[in-house]
Structure 1
Amino acid sequence: MSDSDSVDESKIPSREECENRCQKFAEITGTDSALAMFYLQDREWELDRAVNAYFEETGESIGSAPQKKKIKIDGLSFSGRSDGNNSSSSTSPVIKTERKPDVDDPLPNRIRLMSWNIDGLCEKAKVKRTQAVCDIINKDNPHAVFLQEVVPETLEVLTSKCPTYHIIEAANQEYFTAVMLKVGVAEVKESKVIPFTSSLMLRTLQKIECTIKGVKFLLMTSHLESTKDHAAERKQQLKIALQHMVSANSDQTVIFGGDLNLRDKELQELKGLPEGVLDMWQVTGSRKEAEFTWDLTRNTNLEWTGRFKPRCRFDRIYTRHCKPKSVIVPKYFELVGLEKIPSCGLFPSDHWGLLAHYDKIEK
């Protein structure tokens, strides 16, 4: 780890105090805990500095900051996001210590899906970082998880630390994708791995047909060809994946997500997304604080010697509703993995994870 990544742990508040300051920042600014972490971590967890920086950069005043809604779930009232899931807060009733699927779900119509490149090829504190990934998965309790850049060593940690998930890996090379499905909630019908035959990096498309809370899904994940030099192959892989989305059975809701290594220009060159395919970040409001998933201005896991540090939206989640009428509604999109691990001074990955929230429509 470089000197810039080293951390004086004596100056880091306790986890409880960090969460308390995130809550206070969110209350003052009318934002959320995810944005609070960004501002507080960059300012050594000093609340006054973080709040002042926020209002200076946004031009808002304390009086003009939007107030959070008061939310009531299962008789418990708390201040949080208006979507009813304040998963970044340790006091939220959404966070459960018992890992009993479905029984303890305070939002029975909510379906959560996470996607994350967990950087298994990086050797720095790999086990600790993967354990942190597991902690976040167990805390946020998604019903399905798409993982990219999994390796045998991290797969072993995931299997051990996430016992309430069934893991289906597409282990065809040194590193691979995997899908985690919540036991007792998701039921697998069929699993396939489709190779991209022209890939120089042995990339694949992983497809799983399943039901989650009674909803029929086709779940797809991939780690598309990397680096700027391989844009042509990456676009071809994306085109194939999107074809699988639009040609899926009409009674299936299709979700495709992963580290797509995608540049907006490349998507434009493909004439954009097919009709009926939605970008979850866009359809939930295109919130700026949730835009960049590989952000070297904030994520310090990688050393970058260039003058300008890149900020890219490499990781994406796309949704195609079933026909003739959709059975889920996109509700919220957020980033996870935004907090450094105190014991090693690293984030869980050099990518932020994505967490998409959907609501099942009552018939």
Structure 2
Amino acid sequence: MSDSDEDNDANLPSRDECEKRCQKFATVTGTDTALAMFYLQDRDWDLERALNAFFGGSSQDSTDASSKPVEEETPSQSDVVSDSEPHRFRLLSWNIDGLDDSNLKSRTKGVCDIINRDNPHMVFLQEVIPKSLKLIEKLCPQYQAIPGGRDDYFTAVLLKSGSVEFESSNIVQFFSSLMERNLLGVKCKIKGVPFLVMTSHLESCKEHSRERINQLKKAFSLMAKAGDDRSVIFGGDLNLRDPELDKAGGLPEGVLDLWEITGKRPEAKFTWDLQRNDNLEWNMKFRPRCRFDRLYLRHSKLKPAIKPVYFELVGIERLTSCQRFPSDHWGILTHFDILDRVDK
């Protein structure tokens, strides 16, 4: 065995980890572990690269131009690199806990690292403060930031330049909110598909359930009233409990819960999970796990233009800089196919 072979073997994940990645690939793609092994072995067991290659419709990796020698590039390859996944877009939503001053710079940098790594076309952020927004704009210059009002803490939408065309934005005030919460709406086109996207940080705390329900109903009403030609996505840190959704009348006709319709994967359910995330000091014996962060979809009324294919959590690894997580919430990352481009 050569030295290089020994080095490669040393860098392989453990057997248990390889099996875990095979199972995850098979679950996400709806295939089997044999095909998973084929894709993963060719990509050094990098699950993200393997999934990108599969959904790109090719067994060859098409994700990263920097891994190819410059002299091998051709004009046609350069065109592919500019959008290696013409059929795919990603949306990330995350409460980044800007109100926690501890390790704010390190944690915000960790958020930016994940944004740059996962390359979402659009980002919903909650609990942004001016200091963290300034850092995000510096470290993620490829995104246009649209803040959602207020001077202390607020929501924001990030749109990836070159892939998302901004049209307009507006802020809907929740006038009965004791916390001055609102809803930020943005009209845009993602790879030519018209969207209305909306994010909010709904009223916090159990005792403000009635106000939170009213805010949720208002958001659902706005989804229903959106233009027939637009796909509508609403979500964020909704602080929502399942009984509250029932009290709001349940999901309106035509509105889909993205976690549910992508398989209800239990490992991606709880976004505020104090059993796994210890950023927040919690002195009580019972440590709650809640699905506070949610995303909802209303298809274009003319013709469905997108298909949700995968829902996952991000930000679940500790930062080496401070040994904390980027936020006390996990982020939620959803992958979509653009239907008229899937077979192209």
With normalisation by structure 2, the TM-score equals 0.82
Q: Tell me if 1:171 matches 2:149.
A: yes
Q: CA deviation at 1:230?
A: 0.3
Q: Which amino acid aligns with 2:190?
A: I
1:219–1:25 distance in 2 versus 1, CA, 3 Å: farther
Q: Tell me if 1:240 matches 2:231.
A: no
How far apart are the structure 2 equivalents of 1:247 and 1:286?
Answer: 28
Q: Which amino acid aligns with 1:138?
A: N
Q: Tell me if 1:210 matches 2:203.
A: no
User: Would the aligned equivalents of 1:120 and 1:150 in 2 still touch at CA under 8 Å?
Assistant: yes
User: Would the aligned equivalents of 1:279 and 1:316 in 2 still touch at CA under 8 Å?
Assistant: yes
Report the equivalent of 1:127.
Answer: 105
- Taking the TM superposition and a 5 Å limit, the aligned residue runs for 1:287-326 are 287-326=265-304
* Counterpart selection for 2:257 from 270, 276, 279: 279
User: Would the aligned equivalents of 2:63 and 2:81 in 1 still touch at CA under 8 Å?
Assistant: no
User: Would the aligned equivalents of 1:101 and 1:183 in 2 still touch at CA under 8 Å?
Assistant: no
Q: Tell me if 1:69 matches 2:36.
A: yes
How far apart are the structure 1 equivalents of 2:199 and 2:300?
Answer: 18
User: Would the aligned equivalents of 1:222 and 1:257 in 2 still touch at CA under 8 Å?
Assistant: yes
* Counterpart selection for 1:181 from 139, 159, 180: 159
1:83–1:254 distance in 2 versus 1, CA, 3 Å: farther
Report the equivalent of 1:28.
Answer: 19
- Taking the TM superposition and a 5 Å limit, the aligned residue runs for 1:1-363 are 21=13, 25-29=16-20, 30-32=22-24, 66=33, 69=36, 80=47, 84-85=51-52, 94=63, 103-362=81-340
| Partner deviation per Cα, 1:247-297 (whole Å, 9 max, x = no partner) | 110100000010000000100112211011111100000000000000000
1:237–1:101 distance in 2 versus 1, CA, 3 Å: farther
How far apart are the structure 1 equivalents of 2:133 and 2:79?
Answer: 22
1:159–1:269 distance in 2 versus 1, CA, 3 Å: same
Q: Which amino acid aligns with 1:129?
A: R
1:318–1:102 distance in 2 versus 1, CA, 3 Å: farther
1:210–1:131 distance in 2 versus 1, CA, 3 Å: same
With normalisation by structure 1, the TM-score equals 0.78
Q: CA deviation at 1:325?
A: 1.5
Consecutive unaligned residues of structure 1, counting only runs of 5 or more, are 1-16, 34-64
How far apart are the structure 2 equivalents of 1:237 and 1:25?
Answer: 45
Q: CA deviation at 1:304?
A: 1.1
User: Would the aligned equivalents of 2:130 and 2:151 in 1 still touch at CA under 8 Å?
Assistant: no
Q: CA deviation at 1:94?
A: 3.7
How far apart are the structure 1 equivalents of 2:109 and 2:62?
Answer: 23
The RMSD of aligned alpha carbons is: 3.0
User: Would the aligned equivalents of 1:168 and 1:180 in 2 still touch at CA under 8 Å?
Assistant: yes
1:192–1:283 distance in 2 versus 1, CA, 3 Å: same
Report the equivalent of 1:40.
Answer: none
User: Would the aligned equivalents of 2:98 and 2:128 in 1 still touch at CA under 8 Å?
Assistant: yes
How far apart are the structure 2 equivalents of 1:213 and 1:196?
Answer: 32
| Partner deviation per Cα, 1:108-162 (whole Å, 9 max, x = no partner) | 1101000000000001100000000000000100000000000011001101000
Q: CA deviation at 1:81?
A: 7.1
SS at match of 1:131: helix
Q: Which amino acid aligns with 2:202?
A: L
Q: Which amino acid aligns with 1:191?
A: S
How far apart are the structure 1 equivalents of 2:65 and 2:277?
Answer: 28
SS at match of 2:152: coil
User: Would the aligned equivalents of 2:12 and 2:44 in 1 still touch at CA under 8 Å?
Assistant: no
1:221–1:341 distance in 2 versus 1, CA, 3 Å: same
Q: Which amino acid aligns with 1:358?
A: F
Q: CA deviation at 1:171?
A: 2.6
User: Would the aligned equivalents of 1:194 and 1:204 in 2 still touch at CA under 8 Å?
Assistant: yes
SS at match of 1:136: helix
How far apart are the structure 1 equivalents of 2:116 and 2:66?
Answer: 9
| Partner deviation per Cα, 1:68-123 (whole Å, 9 max, x = no partner) | 625769xx767647993389xxxx7546769x998443221101000000000001
Q: Which amino acid aligns with 1:28?
A: E
| Partner deviation per Cα, 1:149-208 (whole Å, 9 max, x = no partner) | 000110011010000000000131410000000001111111001110000000000000
1:324–1:111 distance in 2 versus 1, CA, 3 Å: same
Greater per-residue helix proportion? 2
